[in-house]
C-alpha cells in the first residue's frame, strides 16, 4: 500500500508516519511545506528507511500536488496538514483559511482527478482520510453531554471554523463526486514531539526552566486528553477498516480541567526531575510557578468526545490512561532535551531545506 501523509512533519502527522513505518507494510510520501510547526527532527529515523519519501510542498500548490500524485501513485491519502493553534488563529486568521480550507479544497480536487483516472480494483480501494478536531462541535458548557458523530457543528474560533469548513468540503466531495472519503474528529492530543506552543509541552519546558506556568482564566476549562500514539493507531485503523462516508470520533476518555493537567505535570516533575540537570526550578515546588493570565477571547469551556462508535465498529480503544500517557510524556521531555532546545533556539529550521532535498 502507498500512503500520502500531508502534514507528516507536524505533531500528529509525525506520529502517524512513525507508526506506519514501524507497524505497517507500506510506502509513505510525506508532503509538508514545513511551516514553523513542521519539524524534521521528529522524523530523524525515517529518512534512512527506503519505504519513506519526503516532499517539501505546499498543499495549496495544485500543480505540484498533482505531480506528486502522478509520480507516487497513492492508494490512500491521510490529510493532516493544517494550521492548528487557536491563539494564532485569533491573531492571524487568514493563514488558517488558506491552509485549512483552500488547502483541503486543493487536495480534494487533485485526489478526485487522480482517483477518477485509476483502473479497477485500485479505484475501488482508494481512500481519502480527512483528520479533523472535536473543536468543530463548539462548546459543551453547562451540560454533561458528549460530542457524537451527529453533534451539530458550532465552531467558536477562526481555527475551529476553518476546520469545520474543511470537514464540509470533504463531505461535499464525497456526496457530489462519490470520492471515497472518511473523516475523523479527535480530542486534545499530547505526547512526545509536541510543539512547545501547546499547553502540555509549554508547561513542562517552562517548569524545567523555572519560568511562570501561564494558565488561562481560572483553569476550569475541560478537555478530553488523547495520547498521540493512541491517536495514530486509531487513524491507521480507520483508514484500513473504516466504512466509506462515515465519521469516527476519537477520544481518550480523559476529561480534565486545564488546571488539573498543569497540577499533574508539576507533580510528575517533582517526582521525575529531581536532580535532573535540565531542571532550573526554584526549591519551592513547580506548582508555585503557576500564574493565572487573562483568558483568551471566545475560550470554550468544555469539550468531551463519545468514542463508542470507533470502539464498537472497529475495536479501537486507547491503550494509555491519562496518568500513564502523561508520565511517558514528561519522561520523554526529560530524556530528550536536545529536541526541545533545537525548537526553542530555532536551530531545527536551519537545516530543513537540505534535509528535505535528500
Residue with cell 500524485: 69
Q: CA-CA distance, 328 to 345, in Å (whole number)?
A: 24
- Helix (H), strand (E) at residue 133: strand 127-133
Q: What distance, in Å, lies between the first and last C-alpha atoms of the chain?
A: 23
Distance of CA 319 to the CA centre of its chain: 18
**How many degrees, rounded to 5, is the angle at CA 344 between CA 341 and CA 347?**
75
Any idea which residues carry the catalytic annotation? 134-135, 159
- Cα atoms in the 13 Å half-sphere on the side-chain side of 261: 32
Where b means 16+ CB within 10 Å and e means fewer, 181-199 reads bbbbbbbbbbbbbbbeebb
Peptide bond into 121 cis (omega under 30): yes
Task: Tally the residues of the chain.
Answer: 358
C-alpha cell at 24: 505497517
Amino acid at each position: 500500500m502507498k500512503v500520502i501523509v500531508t502534514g507528516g512533519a507536524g505533531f500528529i502527522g509525525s506520529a502517524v508516519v512513525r507508526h506506519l513505518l514501524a507497524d505497517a507494510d507500506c510506502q509513505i510520501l510525506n508532503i509538508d511545506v514545513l511551516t514553523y510547526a513542521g519539524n524534521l527532527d521528529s522524523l530523524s529515523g525515517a529518512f534512512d528507511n527506503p519505504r519513506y519519501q519526503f516532499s517539501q510542498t505546499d498543499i495549496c500548490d495544485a500543480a505540484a500536488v498533482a505531480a506528486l500524485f502522478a509520480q507516487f501513485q497513492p492508494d490512500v491519502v491521510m490529510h493532516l496538514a493544517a494550521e492548528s493553534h487557536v491563539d494564532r488563529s485569533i491573531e492571524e486568521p487568514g493563514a488558517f483559511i488558506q491552509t485549512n480550507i483552500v488547502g483541503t479544497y486543493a487536495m480534494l480536487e487533485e485526489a478526485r482527478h487522480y482517483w477518477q483516472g485509476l483502473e479497477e480494483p485500485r479505484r475501488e480501494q482508494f481512500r481519502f482520510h480527512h483528520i479533523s478536531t472535536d473543536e468543530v462541535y463548539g462548546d459543551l458548557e453547562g451540560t454533561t453531554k458528549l460530542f457524537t458523530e451527529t453533534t451539530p457543528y458550532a465552531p467558536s474560533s477562526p481555527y475551529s471554523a476553518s476546520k469545520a469548513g474543511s470537514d464540509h468540503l470533504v463531505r461535499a466531495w464525497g456526496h457530489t463526486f462519490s470520492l471515497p472519503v472518511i473523516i475523523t474528529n479527535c480530542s486534545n492530543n499530547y505526547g512526545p514531539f509536541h510543539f512547545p506552543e501547546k499547553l502540555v509541552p509549554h508547561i513542562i519546558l517552562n517548569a524545567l526552566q523555572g519560568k511562570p506556568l501561564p494558565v488561562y482564566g481560572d483553569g476550569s476549562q475541560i478537555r478530553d486528553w488523547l495520547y498521540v500514539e493512541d491517536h495514530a493507531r486509531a487513524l491507521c485503523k480507520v483508514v484500513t477498516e473504516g466504512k466509506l462516508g462515515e465519521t469516527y470520533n476519537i477520544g481518550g476518555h480523559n476529561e480534565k480541567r486545564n488546571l488539573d493537567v498543569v497540577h499533574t505535570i508539576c507533580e510528575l516533575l517533582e517526582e521525575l526531575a529531581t536532580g535532573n540537570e535540565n531542571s532550573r526550578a526554584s526549591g519551592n515546588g513547580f506548582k508555585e510557578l503557576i500564574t493565572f493570565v487573562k483568558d483568551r477571547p471566545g475560550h470554550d469551556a468544555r469539550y468531551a468526545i463519545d468514542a463508542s462508535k470507533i470502539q464498537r465498529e472497529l475495536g479501537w480503544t486507547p491503550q494509555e490512561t491519562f496518568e500513564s500517557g502523561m508520565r511517558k510524556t514528561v519522561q520523554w521531555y526529560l530524556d530528550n532535551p536536545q529536541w526541545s532546545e533545537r525548537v526553542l533556539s530555532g536551530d531545527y529550521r536551519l537545516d530543513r531545506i537540505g534535509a528535505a532535498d535528500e
